[in-house]
């Protein structure tokens, strides 16, 4: 990994957005220092501003993916977002939020943009959250939803076809871990994966954790608390289903095609760069895009950031290429 180009310089539009958010919402407490339910409610409220001017879709609905006692999942609500002229297949989009916050509602605009760019229905699971439900509860819910996506039905407005799995931040971790889980189980794998600024490891001494320890936005302290909620046993964090950077070479070689996206000003930037290095070391050539001047979570701001819209256009192009190659 070469982090020599790390820069703290915000782009003009990112700087302007952060100032607008501060003016609109005022100073907010660190949600990881609040009781989880209060932090969750604050996250839902603060994300409302990101979910306006929603892109038009053909239809939306919520379905329930039934609990699977053998897997260990529970009933899981899944939002189905179907674009106009949708093709056969679907995208399973796993929202981020530090394994503890956010929902299909907080990520709906981002998911709608993705649906329109890929021209496939997007399915967003409302998986169980830490700390009330630490690892592996959320992962098992996501795996159950992945299996449900493969068994797509007309009732959900989805036709069986190629499947892409995507996720941002902690959702990228869960998406990747779900595919590793299914590869280990010998089950069907998606045609490709879109992983946006993922939390792939719990090493808080990486270069980006050092450079961006105090943000802006996401901080090292917040990530340490998220990890303590999700997997408090530090020894267990060497499990690749917890921290995918610990996956062995054989597992990495077996993964479907990936598209990696990172934010240039993000404590998690090194996670993506280290993961990209691991992939290259086993002979893969998965594309990597690092968007300079933007902070962690910038894809939530497609209503205001050209960089976010452009990044999802590129991700959509990558996904369509994966589908053509499947």
Inter-helix orientation angle 108-118/306-325, to 10°: 50
Cα–Cα–Cα angle for 22, 25, 27, rounded to 5 degrees: 65
Pick the catalytic residue from 11, 73, 169, 270: 169
258-265 β-sheet, strand order: 59-65, 76-82, 122-125, 90-94, 163-168, 192-196, 258-265, 288-295
What is the Cα–Cα distance from 311 to 51, expressed in whole angstroms? Answer: 18
How many CB atoms neighbour CB 67 within 10 A? 14
Question: Is the CB of residue 117 less than 8 Å from the CB of residue 316?
Answer: yes
Question: Of all helices (H) and strands (E), which one includes residue 82?
Answer: strand 76-82
Cα–Cα–Cα angle for 260, 234, 219, rounded to 5 degrees: 55
Question: Of all helices (H) and strands (E), which one includes residue 60?
Answer: strand 59-65
E-strand stretches of 126-279 = 163-168, 192-196, 258-265
Known catalytic residue at 169: yes
Question: Is the CB of residue 270 less than 8 Å from the CB of residue 207?
Answer: yes
Q: Which residues are catalytic?
A: 169
């Amino acid at each position: 990994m070469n982090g020599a180009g790390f820069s703290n310089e915000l782009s003009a539009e990112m700087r302007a957005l952060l100032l607008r958010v501060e003016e609109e919402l005022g100073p907010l407490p660190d949600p990881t220092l609040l009781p989880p339910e209060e932090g969750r409610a604050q996250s839902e409220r603060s994300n409302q501003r990101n979910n306006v001017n929603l892109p038009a879709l053909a239809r939306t609905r919520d379905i329930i993916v039934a609990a699977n006692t053998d897997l260990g999942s529970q009933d899981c609500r899944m939002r189905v977002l179907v674009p106009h002229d949708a093709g056969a297949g679907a995208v399973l989009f796993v929202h981020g939020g530090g394994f503890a916050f956010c929902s299909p509602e907080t990520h709906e605009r981002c998911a709608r943009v993705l649906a329109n760019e890929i021209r496939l229905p997007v399915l967003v699971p409302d998986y169980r959250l830490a700390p009330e439900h630490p690892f592996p509860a959320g992962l098992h819910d996501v795996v159950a939803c992945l299996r449900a996506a493969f068994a797509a039905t007309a009732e959900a407005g989805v036709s069986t076809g190629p499947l892409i799995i995507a996720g941002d931040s902690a959702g990228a971790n869960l998406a990747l871990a779900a595919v590793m889980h299914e590869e280990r189980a010998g089950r069907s794998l998606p045609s490709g994966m879109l992983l946006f600024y993922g939390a792939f490891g719990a090493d808080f001494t990486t270069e980006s954790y050092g450079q961006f320890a105090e943000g802006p936005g996401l901080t090292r302290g917040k990530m340490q608390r998220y990890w303590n909620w999700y997997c408090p046993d530090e020894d267990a964090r060497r499990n690749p289903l917890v921290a995918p950077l610990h996956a062995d070479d054989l597992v990495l070689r077996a993964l479907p095609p990936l598209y990696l996206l990172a934010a240039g000003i993000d404590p998690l930037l090194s996670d993506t760069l280290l993961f990209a290095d691991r992939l290259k070391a086993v002979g893969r050539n998965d594309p990597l895009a690092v968007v300079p001047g933007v902070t962690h979570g910038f894809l939530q701001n497609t209503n205001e950031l050209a960089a976010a819209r452009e990044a999802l256009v590129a991700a959509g192009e990558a996904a369509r290429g994966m589908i053509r190659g499947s």
